[in-house]
Structure 1
Amino acid sequence: MAQLPVSSKPARSRTLILSLVAATIIWLFNELNKDGYTLRVPYPVKISYNDSLYISIHPLPRSANAIIKGSGWTLLRKSIAFTVPPVTYVIENPLATNSINTSALAAAMNEQVKDVDITHVELDKNRVDFEERVVKTSILKVDSLGLNLFPKFVVSSLINLRPNKVTFEGPASLVNDIADTLIVKVPAKKIRGNYDEELPIRYPQSPLLKTSAERVFVSFEVAEFLGTPPPPPQPKEQEPVKKATTKKASKGKKKK
């Protein structure tokens, strides 16, 4: 039996490998030309509402998982680089809205992307919570009765505050709980000299709350009282109350 030359075996192996590669490429091209493939991609989202009147209590979603359907070639391109501008989802009445309609969101995505079909949209959290945006101004006042002065020292000037009021802006549930007058406490002990310090304004801390000032400058003058303070006025003794007397009118005699 005649044997093939040894040099012809590698040639046959190369031919077989090339044939398999060519068949794979042809099969892959045929598959990519077909429709009906699906792919999950992150899709940027922008929630639009009147933020001058309302405020969101919780962070709003910035992206959603979109299930797109299309041909193999199209989805291959999308899987390599899927870049689209954020789709805008409008909330007309925030106080009456508590969730995002994913069907409406998918419809908005389909209006934006024409070469694929958005079949489904998934959100990590589709719950939303809005409140009315409220602005309030509170007056600042120093706790003068709580000042800790050195013995025989008194405040000898007006107590100045800069600023003397502060404005808050945020959700109604937070702003409405802030008092109309905020008390500023001076922490210094045994004050015997003129006071001029910057102190924090105490109010409920929240990332949703904006304020016109976080600190206030407090200044006043202090002097030593050299004289003897006058004794407190003594209460006057009340005089005994005289009983009121009434005169009875004399009755006239009847004429005969």
Structure 2
Amino acid sequence: MRSAEDIIEKLKRSFQTPSRKDERIKVVVVCIVISTTFWFFSALNKSDYISQINYPIEIIFDDEGYIATSELPDRIPLEVTGGGWDLMTRSFGFNMNPISIRLSDPDASNHILTSTLRGQLTPGLDPVIVNYILEDSLTFDIQKRAARVFELALDPESISLDPDYRIVSPISINPKTIIWTGPEKLINARDRLIYVNAGIENIDEDVNETVNIPDLPEFFNSNTESVEISFEVVRMMDVEVDLNVELINFPDSIWSVDPSVIKVRYRIEETKFDVADTLGIRLVANYQSMNPSDSSIAIQAITNQAYIEELRLAIQQVKGQNNE
């Protein structure tokens, strides 16, 4: 096998030999590559380099009973001294078996002092020497896994009724509760009432829908993904009738009021509508409430039927007249 000196000498002669320009450039490039390679390997043979490397670690805990709510550290930064070859291999992660850090009670503390790991680092790096551990501690957040029961309610803003309809039954949610599992501190901080977004618009018939529960917070699990929502609606009818004004406490029958008939408007559920319902509405003009200055009397609308709603009069007052 030829020595390096023989190879270099041959390259020199090739370079001095008349040739095309591009061939000379190739020779120069080869010389540079060989020189750099020799320098590189020579440098790696030195034994007093100082460098920084990251040593791999693995934090182990009972992941069925606990949840890590942040990314766990997987490296320890070190300043080390060693030979070039040793430092190069470790910089690429070779010859470094991860240190296993077992936590029996992971929520008791949120950090580990790196000084306690020095004894485990040294054997894995030999013959490289650890000068300093560049971080004082490794921090993490590991919490107990806890389960809590949450009540469900329909978000009223998530449904809209057709203007002529209204809800006439209790809103049923099945199941009424769900169980969320997650980090203890996070799950205890949440409100125990969870609003379900139905996302239903222009409702004009009874509702019986399967609705997804809200998106789970990070690190949470649920025992169910959807619930059944149901309720009944009814159409509201607009009714308009003309009713006679009833006179009370007037001195005698020669009195009258003008007008004597007033148009009345109200709303009622379609299922409860009956023409006879209007008999339950009285329009009363009380002589004792007459205004002496202009003989005006405010009309009282009286009804004993609770399902008559939004009762409105076309005229709010009448004038008393003595027809003598």
TM-score (norm 2): 0.49
Is the CA contact (8 Å cut-off) linking 2:57 and 2:75 kept in structure 1?
yes
Aligned residues, how many? 210
Q: Does residue 1:231 correspond to 2:305, yes or no? A: yes
Q: Assess, with a 3 A threshold, how the Cα gap between structure 1 residues 36 and 93 changes in structure 2: closer, same or farther.
A: farther
Aligned counterpart in structure 2 of residue 207 of structure 1, from 218, 230, 240? 218
Residue correspondence of structure 1 range 75-224 to structure 2 within 5 A: 75-79=87-91, 82=94, 84-123=96-135, 126-142=138-154, 149-150=161-162, 151=164, 154-155=167-168, 159-161=172-174, 163-184=175-196, 186-202=198-214, 206-213=217-224, 215-222=226-233, 224=235
- The aligned counterpart of 1:45 is 57
| Conservation of the 8 A alpha-carbon contact between 2:79 and 2:133 | yes
Is contact 1:66-1:118 (8 Å) kept?
yes
Counterpart CA distance in 1 for 2:119 and 2:180 is 39
Distance of aligned partners of 1:111 and 1:210 in 2 relative to their CA distance in 1, 3 Å threshold: farther
3-state SS of 2:107 partner: helix
> Gapped runs of 5+ residues in structure 1?
1-9, 234-256
Q: Which is richer in strand?
A: 2
The TM-score, its normalising length taken from structure 1, stands at: 0.60
Give the secondary structure class of the aligned counterpart of 1:39.
Answer: strand
Structure 1 residue aligned with 2:76:
64
Cα RMSD after superposing both structures: 4.2
Task: Report the AA paired with residue 129 of structure 1.
Answer: D
Aligned-partner residue type, residue 218 of structure 2: P
Deviation at residue 142 of structure 1 after TM alignment: 3.5
Question: What are the Cα deviations for residues 41-69 of structure 1, in whole angstroms up to 9, with x where unaligned?
Answer: 22222122233333334322122223333
Higher relative contact order at CA 8 Å, sep ≥6: structure 1 or structure 2? 1
Tell me, in whole angstroms, the C-alpha distance in 2 between the residues paired with 1:140 and 1:186.
12
Larger Rg belongs to: 2
1:248 aligns with none
Matches of 2:89 and 2:195, distance apart in 1: 63
| Equivalent position amino acid for 1:40 in 2 | Q
Q: Percent sequence identity over matched residues?
A: 23
Q: Displacement of 1:215 after TM fit?
A: 4.5
Gaps of 5+ in 2: 1-11, 17-30, 236-269, 278-303, 308-324
